[in-house]
Amino acid sequence: MLSVAIAVDVPGEIGSAAPIISASCEAALGAGRCPTALALGPASVVAWYAIVRSDDATATHVQVEVRDRSVTGTIIETRELTYADYDDARSRWASVGAVIAAFVADRDSTERVPAAPRVVRVEAPAPQAPAAPTARWGVDLMALTGPALDRGAFQWGGSLRGFAGPSRTPGVIGSATLRYSQRPGDLDLASVSGAVGIGARLGAPSSRFGFDVTGDLVYEHLAITGRNAQTGHEASAQQNRFGGRLGARAAVRAWAAGLAFVVGLDVSALRPAVDITLANVLQGREPTIGYTLAAGVRFER
C-alpha cells in the first residue's frame, strides 16, 4: 500500500509534533504508512510527502502541503486548518494527522497523475467541553486505642467517619464521626461520641497516597462503672463532655478500586475533666487533653 512521509515546518517546534501527526495518521491507515520524514532511510520510497507549515509558534493556522514523492515534488493538494486559541497542541496535531490520512485514503486505490495545486479550507471541529468535576466522598472504618485515664490500661474501640468534598473545591472536606470505646475491668469506662467538622485534603484524586487534617466539634457521653472485688458492691456514674478535636490521617490506596488503608492520630480537648473515686479512693482521672491512635480501611469515590 502507498505511504506518505510527514515533515513539520513550524517556528520553535522541537520535534514533538511529527510523531503525534504520524500516530494519528497510522491509527486510521495502519502501521508504517505515515512515517516521519526524519525516520526515512536513503532507500525509502513514499508516494506522497506531506509538509505541515505554520507562520506562528502557536500553530493556530496550519497549512498542509501534499507533494508528489519528495519534499521538492509537485504540489498535489494544499489544505488549511484553523484552530481556536484554547485548543491544546496535542489535539491540533492529531487532527492534522487525520486530515493527511483522509487524503491518502481518498487516493489509496489508484495512483493519480499530479494535478494542479488546489486549496481546501477546513475548519477544525469545535472542542468538546471538559467533563465537570465530581464531588469526592468516602467512609473510614477504623479501630482505635489510647489512654482512658491518666493511669492504667488503654481503651479500645472503633469509629465510623464519613466525609465529602464539593466538586469545585476538592481540597476542602466536611466530616461526621461516630465513636465508641471501652476500658474493661474493675473500673469500667465506656464512651460514645459524635463529632462534625471541616478539614483539608492533600493529594490528587488519582494519587496513590492521600493525607487530610480536620477540626471537629465533639459531644461525648462517658459512662463509669466501679466494682469492689471484696464486697461485690457496684456503683456507676455518667458525665457529658464537650470540646474539640484535631485529627490527621494518611491513606495508601490498595489494589482494589476505591479501597485504601488508613492510619490516624486524634488529639481531643474535652471538658470537664473527670476525677473517678471508689470507696473514697482516687482511681484515676479522665483528663481534659487526650489522644487516640487509629487504623483501618477507607472506601472512597
Each residue's pLDDT tens digit, 14-48? 788 889 989 999 888 888 889 888 888 877 888 88
Structural domains in the chain, sorted by start? 4-123 (3.40.50), 136-300 (2.40.160.20)
Mean pLDDT of 142-155: 89
Neighbours of 85 (CB within 10 A): 6
Between the ranges 18-22, 103-107, 123-127, where is the mean pLDDT highest? 18-22
Closest Cα partner for 52 from 60, 64, 67, 40? 64
- Residue 259 — φ and ψ, nearest 5°? -110, 140
CA dihedral 99, 102, 108, 113 (to 10 degrees): -60
Look up cell 485529627; give the residue: 247
The predicted pLDDT at position 158 comes to: 96
Query: What is the Cα–Cα distance from 18 to 38, expressed in whole angstroms?
Result: 9
Which are the contacts of 42, defined by CB distance < 8 A and separation ≥ 6? none
* pTM of the predicted structure, to 2 decimals: 0.54
**Rounded (to 5) percent helix, strand, coil in the chain:** 10, 55, 35
Cis upstream peptide for 272 (omega within 30°): yes
Question: Taking all residues of the chain, what is their mean pLDDT, rounded to a whole number?
Answer: 85
Which residue has better confidence, 130 or 147? Answer: 147
135: three-class secondary structure by DSSP: coil
CB of 235 within 8 A of CB of 215? no
Question: Residue 131 above 60 pLDDT?
Answer: no
> What single-letter DSSP state applies at residue 36?
B
The predicted pLDDT at position 278 comes to: 72
Each residue's pLDDT tens digit, 239-282? 999 999 999 999 998 877 789 999 999 999 999 998 887 767 77
DSSP line for 233-272: -EEEEEEEEEEEEEEEEEEEE-SSTTEEEEEEEEEEEEES
CB of 298 within 8 A of CB of 254? no
Question: Residue 210 above 90 pLDDT?
Answer: no
> Helices in the chain by DSSP H: which ranges?
17-29, 89-107
